[in-house]
Amino acid sequence: MKTFTEPTGILPAHDPEQAMAWPAGDDGRPRGRTIGEVLPPAAPQAIDLRISLLGKNDRIAELNRADFNSRGLLALNLVSSPGAGKTALLERTLDEFGRETRCGVIVGDLETERDAQRLRRSHAPVVQITTGNACHLDAEMVAGGVDALNLEGVKVLFIENVGNLVCPVSFDLGESARVVLLSASEGEDKPLKYPPIFKSAQLVLITKIDVAYHLGFDCAVAAENVRRIAPQARLIQLSSRSGEGMAEWYGYLNSQLGR
């Protein structure tokens, strides 16, 4: 009776003379040779797998930037930890700066339209983007937000990013400048703990300085840490509640519009 065995990836020895020269198995009989023993080793080949995962985002960001430029829009990407005061800053900015210069806002949050509802009281065009589980806005989301906004007469577009100091750093939205907020409730060492986002900023705002003393927050130390990590960034200290430093913030906006 003939027996059949499943293929094992081993080449059998058919030539008896050749078989004598082949390695013996455990039973002393010539065994087959593996493919690796029969075929010469292949020359190593380098395969380049360096494909940019952000390539699509960067392409859309460039389209956004071209669109903003064609509209004469100053687009600012506001990034911070949750609760650093982005929405409060925009509320006062829309009420005061927005009287003379028409502004629009794109707001990013995981859920709810609470921030957008607060900002719509100023009658500025506002659109809310809910990202679900995404911890940042990306260029495609912003492009969709722009399509949903009435930008007639708008000169400044504020993009309020999702509260996060890590994920947004890698995502260009097509903005004219990135503005990073550091609040007095966070601690002076936040720039040292999260350097990439501060290094990517053109402007850093130290916010809530009206309560800095009560929180034991040293504004001078915080400012020094910002300058150490992000020497390229302009630094403004302000309070959306008391109004301190807001004139300097508005001056920055006007200077960017002038460009």
Query: pLDDT category, 117, cuts 50, 70, 90?
Result: very high
Residue 120 lies in a domain: yes
Residue 3 lies in a domain: no
- Regarding whether 188 and 124 lie in a shared domain, the answer is yes
Query: pLDDT category, 235, cuts 50, 70, 90?
Result: very high
- Residue 143: which residues within 8 A CB-CB, separation 6 or more? 60, 63, 64, 67
- Regarding whether 146 and 27 lie in a shared domain, the answer is no
CA atoms of 53 and 9, how far apart (whole Å): 38
- Regarding whether 68 and 161 lie in a shared domain, the answer is yes
> Residue 148: is its pLDDT beyond 60?
yes
- Regarding whether 59 and 41 lie in a shared domain, the answer is no
CA atoms of 118 and 95, how far apart (whole Å): 12
Measured CA angle at 169 (ends 164, 171), to 5 deg: 110
> Residue 6: is its pLDDT beyond 70?
no
CA atoms of 209 and 213, how far apart (whole Å): 8
Q: Which domain holds residue 18?
A: 11-45
Give the number of other CB atoms < 10 A from CB of residue 37: 11
Residue 6 lies in a domain: no
- Regarding whether 247 and 120 lie in a shared domain, the answer is yes
Beta bridge partners of 147: none
- Regarding whether 77 and 30 lie in a shared domain, the answer is no
- Regarding whether 129 and 31 lie in a shared domain, the answer is no
In total, how many domains does the chain have? 2
CA atoms of 164 and 136, how far apart (whole Å): 7
- Regarding whether 95 and 38 lie in a shared domain, the answer is no
Longest dimension (CA), the chain: 99
- pLDDT of amino acid 41: 61
Please check whether residue 10 is in contact with residue 32, taking contact to mean a CB–CB distance below 8 angstroms. Answer: yes
- Regarding whether 237 and 153 lie in a shared domain, the answer is yes
Please check whether residue 91 is in contact with residue 118, taking contact to mean a CB–CB distance below 8 angstroms. Answer: yes
CA atoms of 119 and 86, how far apart (whole Å): 11
Residue 88, token pair as written in the block: 């409060």
Residue 1 lies in a domain: no
CA atoms of 207 and 87, how far apart (whole Å): 12
CA atoms of 66 and 127, how far apart (whole Å): 21
pLDDT tens digits, 40-88: 565 666 554 445 768 999 999 999 999 999 999 999 999 999 999 999 9
Percent of the chain with pLDDT strictly greater than 90: 76
Residue 112 lies in a domain: yes
What's the full length of the chain, in residues? Answer: 259
Tell me what the pLDDT averaged over the chain comes to: 87
- Regarding whether 79 and 202 lie in a shared domain, the answer is yes
- pLDDT of amino acid 54: 85
- Residue 209: which residues within 8 A CB-CB, separation 6 or more? 184, 219, 237, 238, 239, 244, 245
> Residue 10: is its pLDDT beyond 60?
no
- pLDDT of amino acid 9: 40
Q: Provide the CATH number for the domain around residue 193.
A: 3.40.50.300
- Regarding whether 131 and 17 lie in a shared domain, the answer is no
**Between 32 and 251, where is the model more confident?**
251
- pLDDT of amino acid 234: 98
Query: pLDDT category, 133, cuts 50, 70, 90?
Result: confident
pLDDT tens digits, 174-205: 999 999 999 999 999 999 999 999 999 999 99
> Residue 171: is its pLDDT beyond 50?
yes
Short-list 226, 77, 87, 80, CA closest to 164: 80
Residue 4 lies in a domain: no
**Between 132 and 91, where is the model more confident?**
91
- Regarding whether 144 and 119 lie in a shared domain, the answer is yes
> Residue 141: is its pLDDT beyond 50?
yes
Residue 2 lies in a domain: no
- pLDDT of amino acid 19: 44
DSSP state of 247: H
- pLDDT of amino acid 35: 47
Residue 69 lies in a domain: yes
